[in-house]
Amino acid sequence: MRCLFTSRPLHNPFSTLLYELFDPSMGLLAKSQKSGLTASNSLGFAHSCGPLPPLNSPEGTLINGVNFARQTDQTRQTKQTKQTRQTKKVHNGRSKELCKRLNSYFLSFLFLLIPLFFPLSAPAEQSAMNYFVDGVEAFDRGDYNEAVRPLEKAIQLKPSNLEFRYYLGLTYGALNRNEEALKIFSEIVDKEPVKFRKAYFEIAALYSKQKEYQKAIDTLTLAEKAAPSDARIYLEKGYAYKNLKSYEQAIVNFKKAKELDPDLAQVACYNIAVAYYETDRFDMAEEMFLTAIESNPETATAENARQSIRNLKGAKRARRPWYLSTSLSWGYDDNVLLQALEQAGVVSATGEVLDKSDDFETIVLRGGYKFINRKDLEIGAGYTLYCTGYKELVDSNVLGHIPYLYLQYNDDPVYYRIEYDFSYYYAGGSRNDQDNGLYLTFGDSSEDKMRMHSLMPTITIVEPYGLRSEITLNYQDKHYLDGVTSNARHYIGGIVQSYKLPDSERYPRVGYKYGYEDATSKESTYQYHEGLVGFSSPLRWGVWADVSLSYTRTYYHKNTRYCAEGERADKKYMFSASLSRTITDRFQFLFSYNYTHNNSNVMWSDGSSTYDPFKFKKNVYTLSINAVF
């Protein structure tokens, strides 16, 4: 006989006994004959496992209840010699007959015991267990395809073993063979609903994976009937109700799980807090997050609870009907663009610069009101004020008034937003208090420059595996009021794909954007392609870093100003880097650096030299304070 988990023989004392009984050279019967024991002595040994004296010992031997004691009287022994011999002859015959009968009974008894100690199915059980062990090892390694065959083989050899079937169901589930897995688990709980109630959890998990949460709840309800005191049942039901957005039922089940099993208190409290958070009961959510942290401060769940508490204040603000934010910046530009709106980033840059540097200040104020403010739907209106002013180059000052309307619909994991802006811009200014450090003129002595209508739909998709996609469209209708610049319609489409690296807060991203400006003047009509790569990551002391690099290729439909042959084509490289730190939940400091390098295929000669009139480099340094109220 061999062990089910090894190939070594089993050293069973009873197997040794049987071996000795039937081996002609080593059996106990053969040994007893060699040592002078009769069959009746051997039977006594088998029953008592103690030594018996030989027949000719002084103590005598008990046979059939008669004691043949040794006679010490010489005379009496002589007279009874003949009678004694006859008696021994009769006795020996009866003893041999009794020995045969007892041996027959004893052997029959041993044969009856053999099936108890040596089941006839042992080889099959051994083989089934070996296959099962191979399947479990492959499953634990993640080799699910490799695990299927040995598990199926084990079931063929031992179809009544439910543990074999349970692991095959797990393997099918890991391979997304969901229907086969559900069939196996259902058969298991039909046979053993209490002992194998863990199969209920697997059925519920498969339904949840298919987003059939009500079926998962129905399955767990059956498990509840089989084992009403199992805390895990209520924990899993809480998850399913939470996914159905039935938060009150989720809270009831999480509380029940916490009551039945104190070891689940932290997880239960955390999920109760999440349910409160989703129903805008922020104070109760904070209290439960704190309770979860106190249960065991060193776990990942506790860290998630701490992060959630930090996000609660922002969530509270998001549920208010009104909002207000502002940004104040100071910066330095070593090569200011010629056109004020291009310098401000309102419109795309055409590549002409002043070859002058200057300091600047910028303020942005944005506020609004939400007419409808639900978690899944927001509709509101607002106003943005944009103002930038320069210390010396006051003609580059810009003031913008931008009222807007927006609608946002959240259908997790997809978020939709569409915004309409009406923008009115002024350019230019006068020198007032620039020497005192106040560069912002707020439109004083400025001229009407442009009005613009913009429509901006955006779709954000939060995908599995840490992926996030943002698709942006933009339509702009520009009407210039200076009497010089051509009116135009501008079309933009772009996508940015970001990825959250596993077990970190680092986010690489890539993007692409296409733009087309259809101007009334062919010289001002162009199209461009832009590629982007970027990366953001936390550093130390709460500082976040972000870097990006973009390349833009712009093609102009016509260019006669510099007598270029064919179409003008520009190449622009931009590098940006920023460091930011949130001081409180309302204030943030931001330092940014931007480098731009532009050149074209145009070569212009002024008689003394030949150069590219659209080639330039510029560096911009900015320090900003951002606040939300």
The CA distances from residue 377 to 191, 322, 374, 411, 416, in Å, are 48, 15, 5, 9, 10
Number of alpha helices (DSSP H) and beta strands (DSSP E) in the chain: 17, 18
Mean of the pLDDT values across residues 224-239?
93
Mean of the pLDDT values across residues 548-555?
96
Q: What is the pLDDT of residues 343-378, one digit of tens each?
A: 888 888 877 888 899 999 999 999 999 999 998 999
User: Of 572, 576, 623, which Cα lies nearest the Cα of 601?
Assistant: 572
Length of the chain: 629
Q: What is the pLDDT of residues 156-194, one digit of tens each?
A: 999 999 999 999 999 999 999 999 999 999 999 999 998
| This prediction's pTM | 0.66
Position 386 scores a pLDDT of: 97
Place 61 in a pLDDT band, splitting at 50, 70 and 90.
very low
Proportion of the chain in helix, strand, coil states, percent, rounded to 5: 40, 35, 30
By CB atoms closer than 10 A (0-12, 13-18, 19+), residue 189 is buried
Distance CA 297, CA 281 (A): 23
Place 124 in a pLDDT band, splitting at 50, 70 and 90.
low
Mean of the pLDDT values across residues 47-67?
33
Confirm if 77 and 71 have CB atoms less than 8 A apart.
yes
Q: What is the pLDDT of residues 310-341, one digit of tens each?
A: 888 888 888 899 999 999 999 999 999 988 88
Here the tokens at position 131 are 């296959």
Mean of the pLDDT values across residues 43-62?
33
Position 99 scores a pLDDT of: 54
Confirm if 392 and 358 have CB atoms less than 8 A apart.
yes
Position 563 scores a pLDDT of: 53
For residue 91, pLDDT beyond 60: no
Mean of the pLDDT values across residues 392-407?
96
Place 260 in a pLDDT band, splitting at 50, 70 and 90.
very high
Residue 353 is given by DSSP the state B
Distance CA 43, CA 29 (A): 9
Between 140 and 76, name the one with better pLDDT.
140
Position 434 scores a pLDDT of: 83
DSSP-based three-state secondary structure for 229: coil
Position 224 scores a pLDDT of: 93
For residue 12, pLDDT beyond 70: no
For residue 46, pLDDT beyond 50: no
Place 48 in a pLDDT band, splitting at 50, 70 and 90.
very low
Position 311 scores a pLDDT of: 87
Lowest mean pLDDT among 30-39, 373-382, 534-543, 578-587: 30-39
Distance CA 26, CA 34 (A): 11
User: Of 592, 516, 513, 594, which Cα lies nearest the Cα of 557?
Assistant: 516
Q: What percent of the chain has pLDDT over 90?
A: 63
Position 354 scores a pLDDT of: 86
Position 125 scores a pLDDT of: 59
Position 64 scores a pLDDT of: 33
Distance CA 42, CA 34 (A): 12
Position 19 scores a pLDDT of: 33
Position 163 scores a pLDDT of: 93
Confirm if 591 and 625 have CB atoms less than 8 A apart.
no
Position 538 scores a pLDDT of: 95
Position 89 scores a pLDDT of: 46
Position 350 scores a pLDDT of: 77
Cis before residue 413, ω within 30 degrees of 0? yes
Position 276 scores a pLDDT of: 95
For residue 301, pLDDT beyond 70: yes
Mean of the pLDDT values across residues 433-444?
88
Q: What is the pLDDT of residues 474-508, one digit of tens each?
A: 999 999 998 888 999 999 999 999 999 998 899 99
Mean of the pLDDT values across residues 61-82?
36
Mean pLDDT of the chain: 82
Residues 6+ apart with CB under 8 A from 173: 181, 202, 205, 206
In the chain, what is the straight-line distance between the N-terminal and C-terminal CA atoms, in Å? 80
Position 101 scores a pLDDT of: 57
Position 249 scores a pLDDT of: 96
Mean of the pLDDT values across residues 116-122?
49
Q: What percent of the chain has pLDDT over 70?
A: 79
Mean of the pLDDT values across residues 23-27?
35
Distance CA 546, CA 535 (A): 6
For residue 521, pLDDT beyond 50: yes
Structural domains in the chain plus CATH codes: 13-70 (no CATH), 151-317 (1.25.40.10), 330-628 (2.40.160.60)
Position 67 scores a pLDDT of: 35
Between 627 and 315, name the one with better pLDDT.
627
Position 97 scores a pLDDT of: 57
Position 26 scores a pLDDT of: 35
Lowest mean pLDDT among 60-74, 279-293, 375-389, 559-573: 60-74
For residue 93, pLDDT beyond 70: no
Q: What is the pLDDT of residues 608-626, one digit of tens each?
A: 888 888 899 999 999 999 9
For residue 108, pLDDT beyond 80: no
Distance CA 192, CA 202 (A): 15
For residue 527, pLDDT beyond 90: yes
